[in-house]
A and B are shown apart, each in its own frame.
Chain A
Amino acid sequence: MARSTELTISCSDLTKYYGRVRGIEGLDLGIRRGEIFGFLGPNGAGKTTTIRQLMGMIRPTRGIATILGLDSWNDSVEIKRRVGCIPGDVNLYDQLRVHELLDYVDRFRPGVDPLRGELVERFDLDTGKRVKSLSSGNRQKVAIVLAFMHDPEILILDEPTSGLDPLKQQEFYNLIEEMRERGKTVFLSSHILSEVERVCDRVGIVREGRLVDVSTIEELMQRKVRHMDVRFRDQPAAAEFEALPQVSSVQKHDDHMRITIRGDVDALIKLLATHEVEDLTFKQPSLEDFFLSFYDDQGAADEP
């Protein structure tokens, strides 16, 4: 489904201080209807603070956040009719069985739970178990069902795959894809770069309480620096690889060559194919690697 230009989530100078401690500062952001937006940043960057303000859990120190044109603090009840949320720290009612918890949350939106049965099946939930007996992964699955089961227009998800095993992570990504096809808006925070690359259309990068960049995934990929370690049977010259515009550096080690690449890998792969390659590893960068390269770029851009 094509995305509209209408903003469903909007933040203007959104700021939160806890006493003198900064949560988030001066956040300006607009998320369009039908967009899957990733909010990427390390722990303590201000992601959860932003989500709590969007959900009306905490009051902004300054600025405003709106969802569907409604003030996230003053119109919080109306917003929550149309929003599904997974909080950052999933705390459920331990004394209840899963089906009792689902019933309880259901009754806040009577008659509106079109996805409940399907989600319970997809995430393989045993609804007869008591919540306190669930593993953290299963609790996260319950939180996913609670957020999605009333088929909300907007989903606000704080680190939604935390604790999920790889199979269920994949199931979750499939679910997000379906939401995209159905024109839902998703605001998803994460500290996992590969996750936002995989599911998001645009990414906002937040660090130390400030939004430092908003990019499309394509722009992000172009900017991302990765290291390829290659062991050759022949001994090609480093200069051959350095000549490629995407390669930013080549380091020769005793038994392998480390090629640092930014952006598209097609030309490099084609060049590698002209040599005898014994082994190759191509690791995804960590978030910190990404931030280092990101700040290197910013530093270079700031130089006169």
Chain B
Amino acid sequence: MNLNLVQRSILDRRISLIIYALGVAAYGILMTSIWPSMADDLSTLEQLWENYPEGLKTVFGADIPFTRFDGFLTLEYFTIMWIIIGVAFSASVATGALAGEIDKGTMELLLAQPVSRVSVVLSKMLFHAAGLAFLIAATMIPLKLGALVIDAELSTRGVAALSLLLFFFVMSFGSLGFLFSAWFSDRGRAVFAVVGLLIFAYALDILAKFNDFIGNFHFLSLFRYYDPYPYMHSATIDWSDLAVYAGISLTASALAAFHFRRRDIAV
């Protein structure tokens, strides 16, 4: 691990990190601010939800109560919206870290310094993990404060548990992003691979709910292990799901470091 590299990553990414943080915080504040007007007319809301087609309810999560603040946030924010933002951040950092530097030709300058390739990978991964934690904090703190302001129920333990799930879930995408980044010399291809993986995982998750045959392959989708409502509502942590994400993250990170250590760096 090289602190100079971590510090450089922070300085290089500070503007985009702040923009991402402001974005997630603003979206959370927006959701919080519209909840009181919706809560005033819960019966209409409930009716609206009941009238949704079954298929649509299955896609969004049939068992999530739309009429609770934590359910509303889960459906409106954490089912897909936050995931897109989180994975976009993660993909951007991971693919820029290795493939981006090779693509721009700066990796040759970096590796002309006394720093090992494994240290380069680990330092950039550390920044990625810290950046992701910051993004989650920038999401959750305004939500919790907003809930206090509007006097809505939002368990602190639930927020912490969901933060853990979001961290592990997005880390798995980020680690796979690092693997693609270590593999390709072209950042665009690495980004394409992460985005493709996200779309594949989401599509497989949805299709598996409707088709028994595809359901046999549901375990291949990273969304299969992502069920945010129990975390948010009752702080129920499914450690086996987190273990899957941790396993994917550790394996992908190790493979990324291993491959990057052995590969040629040619502009």
- Interface residues in chain A, defined as those with a beta carbon under 8 Å from any beta carbon in chain B: 18, 52, 55-59, 76-78, 80-81, 85, 87, 89-95, 104-105, 107-109, 146
Contacts and interface: CB of A to CB of B under 8 A. Distances in A.
Given A77-B116, A91-B105, A104-B4, A57 B12 contact: no
Contacts of B12: 95
21 contacts: A18-B266, A52-B108, A55-B111, A55-B112, A56-B111, A57-B108, A57-B266, A58-B265, A59-B262, A59-B264, A77-B116, A80-B113, A81-B114, A85-B112, A87-B112, A91-B267, A92-B106, A94-B104, A105-B109, A108-B2, A108-B113
B150 interface: no
A251 to B, nearest CB: 46
Interface string B85-122: 00000000000000000001110110111111000000
B209 interface: no
Given A18-B266, A58-B265, A87-B112, 19 more contacts: A52-B266, A55-B111, A57-B265, A57-B266, A58-B266, A59-B262, A76-B116, A77-B114, A77-B116, A80-B113, A80-B115, A81-B114, A87-B108, A91-B104, A93-B106, A94-B104, A104-B8, A105-B113, A107-B4
Contacts of B108: 52, 57, 87, 89, 91
A96 to B, nearest CB: 9
Contacts of A104: 4, 8
B109 A92 contact: yes
A78 B4 contact: no
Contacts of A58: 264-266
Contacts of A105: 109, 113
A85 B4 CA distance: 20
A109 B113 CA distance: 8
B114 A80 contact: yes
Nearest to A91: B105
A55 B113 CA distance: 10
Contacts of B109: 87, 90-93, 105, 146
A15 to B, nearest CB: 14
Given A52-B266, A58-B266, A104-B8, A91 B106 contact: yes
A78 B116 CA distance: 9
Contact of B114 (A52, A87, A108): A108
Interface string B172-201: 000000000000000000000000000000
A18 to B, nearest CB: 8
Contact of A109 (B111, B114, B266): B114
A80 B115 CA distance: 8
Nearest to A107: B4
Contacts of A18: 266
Given A80-B112, A108-B114, A108-B115, A89 B267 contact: yes
Interface in B1-60: 2, 4, 8, 12
